Amino acid sequence: MQAQEGTLAKRDFCDETGTCHKISDMLSRIGDKWTVLIVSYLGERQMRFSELRNTIGNISQKMLTSTLRKLERDGFVTRTVTPSRPPRVDYALTELGRDLLVPVQALADWSVKNADRIEQARARFEQDRAG
């Protein structure tokens, strides 16, 4: 067997057309502390700023604001201002944002399914380090 059927080649996502840069950007973009959590909440329904903050619980205003701004900038969420007193701002996923959830969900499924394999590997690693 010369070429393993299950093996994915580097060029599939790290070729010379900047592909690897794109996937790295995307991963670091959604791999931060809050993005996935926020997107997942907005995946259920539209929410206001304070609602998100209260639901998430331990997020700072600063990080909620900046994460939402980045998501808005990249076209993943919309920001709708209702100019009342007090003001009201609603956030919702765009089509692109809902689209993003599909591959993220796949990675989530993989993570859950293989969590104990990783845990076992870590236990083995610690074991070997101690022994």
List contacts with DNA (CB under 7 A).
Answer: 32-34, 48-51, 58-63, 65, 68-69, 79, 86-89
Specify the DSSP class assigned to residue 96.
H
On whether the CB atoms of residues 14 and 8 are closer than 8 A, the answer is no
CA distance 120 to 116: 6
On whether the CB atoms of residues 75 and 96 are closer than 8 A, the answer is yes
For residue 90, the minimal CB distance to DNA (Å) is 7
Residue 59 binds what, of DNA, its own copies, none (CB under 5 to 8 Å, by partner type)?
A: DNA
For residue 42, the minimal CB distance to DNA (Å) is 13
For residue 79, the minimal CB distance to DNA (Å) is 7
Of 21, 38, 107, nearest to 76 (Cα)?
A: 38
On whether the CB atoms of residues 64 and 49 are closer than 8 A, the answer is yes
Q: Pick out residues in 22-41 that bind its own copies (CB under 8 A).
A: 22-28, 30-33, 36-37, 40-41
Residue 108 binds to its own copies (criterion: CB under 8 A): yes
For residue 106, the minimal CB distance to DNA (Å) is 23
Stretch that binds its own copies, among 57-65, 84-92, 105-113 (CB under 8 A): 105-113
On whether the CB atoms of residues 35 and 71 are closer than 8 A, the answer is yes
Dig out the tokens for 82 from the structure: 């209702």
CA distance 75 to 93: 9
Which spans of this chain sit near its own copies (rule: CB under 8 A)? 6-10, 12-14, 19-20, 22-28, 30-33, 36-37, 40-41, 43-44, 72-75, 96, 98-112, 114-115, 117-118, 120-122, 124-125
